[in-house]
């Protein structure tokens, strides 16, 4: 576990890179300084790079967002999102847990996430008592996005009706510019604490890494996963035997005053990233 000033010191050791989006490439509003340049340098060095995000939206939507931030398609090899994985599981129903779900869905999340279930044989309902299950993509625009307590009543209602919940974003919190916002994962944690049944889709689940490795097309030993969140990015990479790099400038930017503090935290939490960098820059 070693701290490096940037990715240039690691580039020669790997041929494929799995990159988190939120906290590594951008902050939800704009790209981090140096991120686009780092992508370009990796591409020019012949490296493959796939974005793997816990964003609860489909790949086409995530790609459009990147384009809007000035991250062009030619800077990376592909994208996989938890929203895309959720869509495929709901569409195919070849997983027994998903096969057991009904067709009436209550969507906990903003309307912009409807793309996760649009064009599927599902009926969107507006009351928990009419639903067969809950699709959780995070706080919607009508409720609070910073305080879990704002959602206690609705979560209690889901539990009263014994609804299964799909968590389409396992992240607990995310930074949007300077704001720390709660995510679907925090709502799901609380729902499980209430006794509710939930299924988490995305990092750190090993299943979401399979299509990413196929897109990269390089041996596992030559892949480095880069992320800013230990419980999803580092744990997910470890679950599939892939080396990881912890970016300290994302969600934990204010938590560790120096790399030594981050190293101590990682060791105490049982994480062993190959490297730490302050930001995804060359």
Q: Which of 25-34, 66-75, 173-182, 230-239 has the lowest mean pLDDT?
A: 173-182
- Assigned token pair, 177: 């510019």
The CATH fold of domain 94-200: Rossmann fold (3.40.50)
Convert the pLDDT of each residue in 244-263 to its tens digit.
999 998 777 778 878 888 88
Domains 2-54+204-277 and 94-200 belong to one CATH topology: yes
Domain boundaries, the chain: 2-54+204-277, 94-200
User: Residues 208, 194: contact at Cβ < 8 Å?
Assistant: no
pLDDT-based confidence at residue 238 (cuts at 50, 70, 90):
very high
Convert the pLDDT of each residue in 78-97 to its tens digit.
999 999 999 999 999 999 99
| Predicted structure pTM score | 0.93
pLDDT value of position 254: 77
Can you tell me the distance from the alpha carbon of 83 to that of 89, in angstroms, rounded to the nearest whole number?
10
SS (H, E, C) 50-115: EEEECCCCCHHHHHHHHHHCCCCHHHCCEEEEHHHHHHHHHHHCCCHHHHCCCCEEEEECCHHHHH
pLDDT value of position 250: 78
The CATH fold of domain 2-54+204-277: Rossmann fold (3.40.50)
């Amino acid at each position: 576990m070693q701290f490096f000033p940037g990715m240039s010191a690691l580039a020669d050791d790997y041929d494929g890179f799995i990159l988190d989006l939120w906290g590594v490439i951008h902050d939800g509003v704009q790209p981090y300084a140096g991120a686009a340049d780092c992508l370009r340098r990796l591409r020019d060095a012949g490296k493959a790079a796939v974005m793997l995000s816990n964003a609860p939206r489909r790949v086409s939507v995530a790609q459009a967002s990147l384009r809007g931030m000035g991250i062009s398609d030619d800077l990376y090899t592909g994208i996989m999102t938890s929203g895309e994985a959720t869509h495929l599981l709901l569409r195919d129903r070849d997983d027994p847990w998903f096969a057991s779900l009904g067709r009436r869905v209550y969507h906990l999340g903003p309307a912009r996430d409807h793309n996760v279930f649009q064009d599927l044989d599902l009926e969107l309902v507006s009351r928990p008592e009419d639903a067969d299950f809950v699709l959780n993509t995070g706080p919607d625009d009508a409720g609070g996005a910073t305080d879990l307590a704002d959602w206690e009543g609705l979560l209690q209602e889901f539990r009263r009706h014994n609804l299964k919940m799909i968590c389409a974003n396992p992240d607990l919190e995310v930074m949007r510019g300077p704001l720390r916002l709660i995510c679907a994962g925090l709502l799901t944690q609380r729902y499980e604490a209430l006794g509710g049944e939930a299924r988490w889709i995305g990092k750190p689940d090993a299943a979401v890494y399979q299509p990413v490795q196929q897109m990269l097309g390089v041996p596992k030993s030559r892949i480095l996963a880069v992320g800013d969140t230990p419980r999803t990015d580092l744990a997910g990479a470890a679950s599939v035997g892939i080396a990881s790099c912890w970016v300290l400038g994302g969600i934990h930017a204010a938590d560790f005053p120096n790399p030594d503090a981050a190293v101590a935290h990682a060791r105490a939490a049982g994480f062993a990233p190959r490297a730490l960098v302050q930001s995804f820059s060359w």
